[in-house]
Structure 1
Amino acid sequence: MSDIICVSQDEIIHQMKLSCQFPTIVDSIITRKIIINVAQEVGIKVETEELQKAADSLRSLNQLESAETTWSWLQKHCLSLDEFEELVYYNVIFSKLAEHLFADKVEQFFVENQLDYAQVVMYEVVFDDFDLAMELYYAIQEGEISFPEVAHQYIHDRELRRSGGYQGILKRTHLKPEISAAVFAATPPQILKPIVTYKGVHLINVEEIIKPELNKTLYLTIISHLFSEWLKQQLEQIKVEYSALAPSLGNGVVA
């Protein structure tokens, strides 16, 4: 095809509608307005040094290591330099407002929910036969066979067999409820009695429970979670208020 195909703004909007992305875009616009309005209300200001640091982080995140790669990236995303600066400014406002609203609530949230941030180091073999799993469990308890030997004999996946059934370092949310309850109640190192799920019969070796610490990474995770939940509430409140006014406003979009 040799003809040049042009895409208009109206066609972009039409495609957003056809791909059912319009509600998501509208929510994003409203969310941005909420953040900017509340930041202004509480008097948050952005310093030049903060903008520069955020711009550098954004370039690093997207591997924009030269003026040429930066320009290409801007063209790809149809961004002008002013719009790039607006994007950086919005990122800074987002972070500063989250800090302003929730910095003093992170520690309490961590204390109340620290079980959700605990991690486990575990190994697992999944059987189809419950009786076989129980037999091997008792054999391990009696010292007749070791868990690594069971893993080597009964795991079919080659890489998983080589690692002895190692599942990695997992959070509670990574596990099925019936498994996580038993795993995080264990006293490592401990072999758990076989647990039945729809996937089969799980024979699990709990090597270590890693207690959570409120380090910088977890701090940022929690404050981001609190801020996101707050934004959802603000967004829902606006939608409820709009729904109440909708009969008198017609079919306009919330702005």
Structure 2
Amino acid sequence: MSPTITVTNEEILEQVKLTCKIPEITEAIMTRKFIERTVVEVGIKVETEELQKAADQFRLVYQLQSAEETWKWLDKYSLSLDDLEHIAYTNLISGKLAIHLFENKVEPYFFEHYLDYFGVAMYEVILDDEDLAIELFYAIQEGEMSFSDVAHKYIQNTELRRKGGYRGVVRRKDLKPEVSTAVFAVKSPQLLKPILTSKGVHLIFVEELIQPTLDDKLRTNILSDLFSEWLRQEVQKDKAI
């Protein structure tokens, strides 16, 4: 029987180095320390009840629904209960700092970038051959094939093929400029003529154009984006000092 392989802390650090993870881990440490320092500077306080809720939310996200599951998870990642509390604390103060700095900037940002948040429910097949794309476009228009037929025949990705090429609701800012220009210039529902980009030839069916609404989900996303970008810039400044 082969001897049991053990792994030491020194070997873990060596593996981190060998896999070239030091820069990103260093960045994560600096980011966490910057958040902790800034929270003290702006006077943000954490109540015991808030911390407990944050820990409960963390366990909910990771589906740690019992003490046994929690202990197994902690053991898997070599963490203690104190470490779990520290993770919950960091998540909590990050959220509180984001709200403190950017809560009043979300709405102005939304209206300033209103067009970027227009959405489209769309189906898409990306082909390599422009002539084939044009041929398929006319075949769909004339009822010889459905878009679903094309998707099932030409999409390689299994999940996307099963959905008939349905991309879900895609925001304008997440589309290539040449695609978004064509998509948002039509009335839905409509099949677009093939669009050539660096990724290939896009055959797109626009199901519905969706006007942006600043709901809770989008508000949270914008808040997170603003905070993440600010945090990235501030940490870079700290590194440069």
TM-score, with structure 2 as normaliser: 0.84
Q: Find the aligned partners of 1:91 and 1:152 in 2 and give their Cα distance.
A: 43
Q: Which moved more, 1:107-116 or 1:152-161?
A: 152-161
The question of 1:151 aligning with 2:147 is answered yes
Q: Find the aligned partners of 2:88 and 2:132 in 1 and give their Cα distance.
A: 60
Shift of residue 185 of structure 1? 2.3
The residue aligned with 1:250 is none
The residue aligned with 1:53 is 53
Pair 1:152–1:38, CA change in 2 (3 A): closer
The residue aligned with 1:133 is 134
Deviations 1:193-212 (A, max 9, x none): 33223555444332211111
Pair 1:49–1:157, CA change in 2 (3 A): same
- 5+ unaligned residues in a row in structure 1: which ranges? 242-255
**How many residue pairs get matched?**
236
Is 2:133–2:203's contact at 8 Å kept on the other side of the alignment? no
Residue 79 of structure 1 aligns with an amino acid whose one-letter code is: L
- 5+ unaligned residues in a row in structure 2: which ranges? none
What percent of counterpart residues are identical? 51
Q: Find the aligned partners of 1:169 and 1:52 in 2 and give their Cα distance.
A: 35
Shift of residue 187 of structure 1? 2.4
Residue 55 of structure 1 aligns with an amino acid whose one-letter code is: A
Is 1:120–1:170's contact at 8 Å kept on the other side of the alignment? yes
Q: Find the aligned partners of 1:31 and 1:5 in 2 and give their Cα distance.
A: 34
Q: Which moved more, 1:170-179 or 1:37-46?
A: 170-179
Pair 1:19–1:222, CA change in 2 (3 A): same
Shift of residue 157 of structure 1? 4.4
Matching of residues 109-128 of structure 1 within 5 Å:
109-124=109-124, 128=129
CA RMSD across the alignment: 2.8
Is 1:51–1:88's contact at 8 Å kept on the other side of the alignment? yes
Q: Find the aligned partners of 1:191 and 1:83 in 2 and give their Cα distance.
A: 53
The residue aligned with 1:87 is 87
